[in-house]
Structure 1
């Protein structure tokens, strides 16, 4: 018996598993950093920004703050990193920050992601099971040609992985019992 017999849906972590967030964010940040003479390597900047990802979601998971979508957290985290780097916000237009925050919606898939997802679609329904917000995941899918059947995850559940309700409410949204789903991630936290 195959371990995936009875599985009808594969839910994918996206950032890192399906797309290359680090190089994509660094690429988007490079011009911004140069334009504002911010002396930091774009990859270090991407790492600092992403380094605030889990702590900001933990505040939601713990109930310290109400649920907000990942784009809101990413924007807050962007401003925190820029502040730590000594950026004068009076010299940075809000539209520039909004545009830079959209870097998370313009990330290249790993070289085998689209072909692999397309192949898996022959047997399973596939979709995100991500902390990303629905609109951002939709834009990312369009940008990278990701062939999702559905986008579920944190926004459906009103909390972030690895809270159980993120997985359970996503299962309900696709009309399957949790035991008929499999989580696909490049890391063990999921």
Structure 2
């Protein structure tokens, strides 16, 4: 088995969602604790997708789900009077996240040897914005909008393999989240865990995989070295 393509989780794996959302929240709503706000919004991230995953509602993109979650969060915080423009800018904060420091150089190295694509719950417009902001170059954009569903539904991993045209075990799912990797492995993909111990701020992040993986790396640069890129 030789790895020929890498597909990436985006939020937390390639980009630092917490710092970016906290920064924009504090800018847009003075006096707000940006870190706590980012954590509370992120806590609504997976539950917001469940109606789509379960078939109770048609597919809608992540901006739509984030906007709905934001309305509920602001109401709970007593900030329901935040204007439409502020709410829109907060949703777009997810389009302006910064990559982890080693990611741009590591991605450039990896692309010399492998086909690269995000396999993200983010939609195409959002992924393009993140890629352009951080100088990331992909060969395709896969994931939620492509499959009209949300991870960890099996179809997203199968669709990615089919779209790229390689065998499942030649396709490496790269993520900082063990549940994502477990779902990918269930569809036959090879898997790589990238540690992001500061992803969730004081709450930490995964320092290593909680499931069996093909590769375990300290960061993306370490993974590139392990793959010989």
> Could you tell me the TM-score, scaled by structure 1's length?
0.90
Q: Does 1:174 align with 2:159?
A: no
1:93 CA displacement? 2.8
Bigger shift: 19-28 or 117-126? 117-126
- SS of the equivalent of 1:149 reads coil
Instruction: Could you tell me which runs of 5 or more consecutive residues in structure 1 were left unpaired when the two chains were aligned.
Output: none
Q: Residues 143-182 of structure 1 correspond to what in structure 2 (within 5 A)?
A: 143-182=133-172
Runs of at least 4 residues off by over 6 Å: none
Match of 1:87 among 54, 61, 79: 79
In 2, Cα distance between the equivalents of 1:83 and 1:165?
Answer: 35
Count of matched residue pairs: 180
Query: Residue 33 of structure 1 aligns with which residue?
Result: 29
Q: Which has the higher contact order (CA 8 A, sep 6+)?
A: 1
Q: Retained in 1: the 8 A contact 2:26–2:32?
A: no
Q: What is the aligned partner in structure 2 of residue 112 from structure 1?
A: 102
Q: For 1:118 and 1:149, how far apart are their aligned partners in 2?
A: 12
**Residue 25 of structure 2 contacts residue 32 of structure 2 at CA under 8 Å; is this kept in 1?**
no
Matched, 1:141 2:131: yes
CA displacement at 1:60 relative to structure 2: 1.2
The answer as to whether partners of 1:127 and 1:151 remain within 8 angstroms in 2 is yes
SS in 2 for 1:101: helix
CA RMSD of aligned residues (A): 1.3
CA drift of 1:88 comes to 3.5
Q: Which residue of 1 aligns with 2:186?
A: none
Shift of 1:160: 0.7
